[in-house]
Amino acid sequence: MLGRFSDAMSLIATATNAMVHAQHISGGFKVQDVSDELVTLERGLRALRGVYDEFDAGIREVRP
């Protein structure tokens, strides 16, 4: 589970860093200029939600 959490955070960090870099280089950006970064960010967020859902399910299993 922690490995999947780390992978999700890496996707989010990579996409965010790429978007920040694109903004600094051009002084701003259009959505079409960062479409790959947005796809990666969305993928990372879905993965992160999946890990949190799995974590929540695990907590419910061990609670009395």
Task: Quick: pLDDT tens for 17-50.
Answer: 998 888 888 777 777 778 888 999 999 999 999 9
d(CA 11, CA 28): 22
- Amino acid identity of residue 38, one-letter, is L
Q: What pTM was estimated for this model as a whole?
A: 0.79
Residue 10, pLDDT above cutoff 90 = yes
Output the pLDDT for position 29: 73
Output the pLDDT for position 42: 95
Tokens 């589970």 belong to 1
To the nearest 10°, the Cα dihedral for 48, 8, 47, 49?
Answer: 0
pLDDT band at 51 (very low <50, low <70, confident <90, very high): very high
